[in-house]
Amino acid sequence: MADLVTPGTPPSPTPASPARVTVARRTPGWSRRVRWARRAVQALVVGGVGWLVFGHATGGSSAESFCPFGGFETLWTLITTGRTVPHTHLANVVLAAAVIGLALTVRGAFCGWLCPLGSLQEWLHGVTGWLASRVPPLRRLRRRLEHLAAGRAWRRTDRVLRWGRWLVLAWAVIGAAVTGTMVFREADPWIALISVVEFELSLAFAVLVATTVLAVFVERPFCRYACPLGAVQAALGALSPVAVQRDAAGCLGCDLCNRACPMAIPVNTRTRVTDTSCIGCLDCVAACPSAPALGVTLALPVPLRSPR
Ligand code: SF4
Ligand code: SF4
């Protein structure tokens, strides 16, 4: 049976006073199932893409035709000329349509559950964090970085850098429409990753290396600061009726949701998490010890709600 804990205090194994208001404690089994379900989906997708990359290296079709962002890059040329820009196919357009549908229903969940580049960054950060917890000099370095990340200067820098996604989106889509080529392809770490077997020194490879190094210190750096597909979903996700919802009455103020969020969203200051950075990973919900405090709910999208 679920334990009872008192809002405003850390969860305690001792029974709560009958005079206090209590909330039902989330069962660890539920949290574990959510985390494992996401990991299983991510592993399946990464495995599938790995298979395609291996197939391409041995003469099969390129995994590039399975990138939804190619569909957005080719859209203008397809509408105006009936042709797709080089390196894209109708498969890209179909996948782009699927991503639009997902964003309109479950916000950024594509990034949190399906994007292989996002999963790889997340795993790299997790593995290096695990190593850091076991190697004392790395542990000290990590603590220092965490201290820095909690400071006002880094938070301000982080906020400014997050505009990068919108700039990259504008450059990629307008550039492709004007030139009829995939301008973003030259800097796309995804392209460098799927062609890693045919190694070539390029801007895309440099971005991949930078993403890999940054992912050791920052969770999902490419998703946060540069991914144009993330920006598309952020824009469309504003129309989604689904979001993580926090009930302040059940909140214990324990901060576990904030610490679990890979996108550094201050979940415990929100009533409804409609932040454009949310990737729908549900790590905050899985980390929350209070069952009524955090959950996923349906509500009218923000732009359709009457102003308060
Ligand atoms: S707010 Fe929750 S669901 Fe959204 S990114 Fe953060 S942890 Fe994931
Ligand atoms: S919403 Fe966040 S701060 Fe509140 S109880 Fe859940 S994990 Fe703790």
Instruction: Using pLDDT thresholds of 50, 70 and 90, give the confidence band for residue 1.
Output: very low
pLDDT tops 50 at residue 15 = no
pLDDT tops 80 at residue 73 = yes
Query: Is 256 domain-assigned?
Result: no
Query: Is 160 domain-assigned?
Result: yes
Residue 268 · residue 246 · CB < 8 Å? yes
Region of poorest pLDDT, from 112-116, 135-139, 234-238, 247-251 = 135-139
Torsion of CA 85, 77, 73, 232, to 10 degrees: -160
**Per-residue model confidence as pLDDT tens digits over 167-220:** 999 999 999 999 999 999 999 999 888 887 777 889 999 999 999 999 998 999
Largest CA distance in the chain: 72
pLDDT tops 90 at residue 4 = no
Query: Is 232 domain-assigned?
Result: yes
- DSSP-derived secondary structure for the chain: ---EE-TTS---SSPPPTTS--EEBPPHHHHHHHHHHHHHHHHHHHHHHHHHHHHHHTT---GGGG-HHHHHHHHHHHHHHS-PPTT--HHHHHHHHHHHHHHHHHTTHIIIII-HHHHHHHHHHHHHHHHHTTSHHHHHHHHHHHHHHTSHHHHHHHHHHTTHHHHHHHHHHHHHHHHSS-GGGGG-HHHHHHTGGG---SHHHHHHHHHHHHHHHSSSHHHHHT-HHHHHHHHHHTT-SEEEEE-GGG-----HHHHH-TT---GGG-SEE--TT-----HHHHH-SBTTTEEEEE---GGGSPP-
The pTM of this model reads 0.86
Residue 34 to residue 40: CA distance in whole angstroms = 10
Residue 99 to residue 123: CA distance in whole angstroms = 23
**Atom 2 (ligand 1): residue with closest C-alpha?**
284
Structure confidence at residue 3 (pLDDT): 38
**Which residues have C-beta within 8 Å of that of residue 23, sequence separation ≥ 6?**
4, 5, 6, 7, 249, 250, 252, 290, 291, 292, 293
CB of residue 290 inside a 6 A radius of ligand 2 = yes
Structure token pair of residue 202: 């390029």
pLDDT tops 60 at residue 298 = yes
User: How many domains are there within the chain?
Assistant: 1
**Atom 6 (ligand 2): residue with closest C-alpha?**
288
Residue 241 to residue 96: CA distance in whole angstroms = 20
Instruction: Using pLDDT thresholds of 50, 70 and 90, give the confidence band for residue 10.
Output: very low
Residue 184 · residue 164 · CB < 8 Å? no
Query: Is 243 domain-assigned?
Result: no
Backbone angles phi, psi at 8, to 5 degrees: 90, -5
Please give the average per-residue pLDDT across 91-110, as a whole number.
Answer: 95
pLDDT tops 50 at residue 145 = yes
Instruction: Using pLDDT thresholds of 50, 70 and 90, give the confidence band for residue 148.
Output: confident
Q: How far is CA 220 from CA 89, 175, 236, 263, 265, in A?
A: 28, 25, 20, 7, 13
Region of poorest pLDDT, from 51-55, 81-85, 86-90 = 51-55
Query: Is 72 domain-assigned?
Result: yes
Say what percent of the chain tops pLDDT 70: 89
Region of poorest pLDDT, from 58-62, 73-77, 118-122, 147-151 = 58-62
When mean pLDDT is compared over 29-33, 121-125, 215-219, 301-305, the highest value belongs to 121-125
Residue 172 · residue 77 · CB < 8 Å? no
Please give the average per-residue pLDDT across 215-240, as a whole number.
Answer: 95
Structure confidence at residue 17 (pLDDT): 43
Determine the structural domain holding residue 102 and report its residue range. 61-236
Structure confidence at residue 9 (pLDDT): 43
Query: Is 271 domain-assigned?
Result: no
Query: Is 111 domain-assigned?
Result: yes
Residue 111 to residue 92: CA distance in whole angstroms = 17
Structure confidence at residue 304 (pLDDT): 54
**Per-residue model confidence as pLDDT tens digits over 280-289:** 999 999 999 9
Query: Is 283 domain-assigned?
Result: no
Instruction: Using pLDDT thresholds of 50, 70 and 90, give the confidence band for residue 303.
Output: low
**Taking the CA atoms of the chain, what radius of gyration do you get in angstroms?**
21
Ligand nearest to the CA of 283: 1
Structure confidence at residue 174 (pLDDT): 95
CB of residue 294 inside a 6 A radius of ligand 2 = yes
Ligand 2 centre from 17 Cα, in Å? 21
Ligand nearest to the CA of 251: 2
CB of residue 291 inside a 6 A radius of ligand 2 = no
**Per-residue model confidence as pLDDT tens digits over 250-295:** 999 999 999 999 999 999 999 999 999 999 999 999 999 998 899 9
Residue 73 to residue 228: CA distance in whole angstroms = 10
**Atom 7 (ligand 1): residue with closest C-alpha?**
261
Average pLDDT, the chain: 87
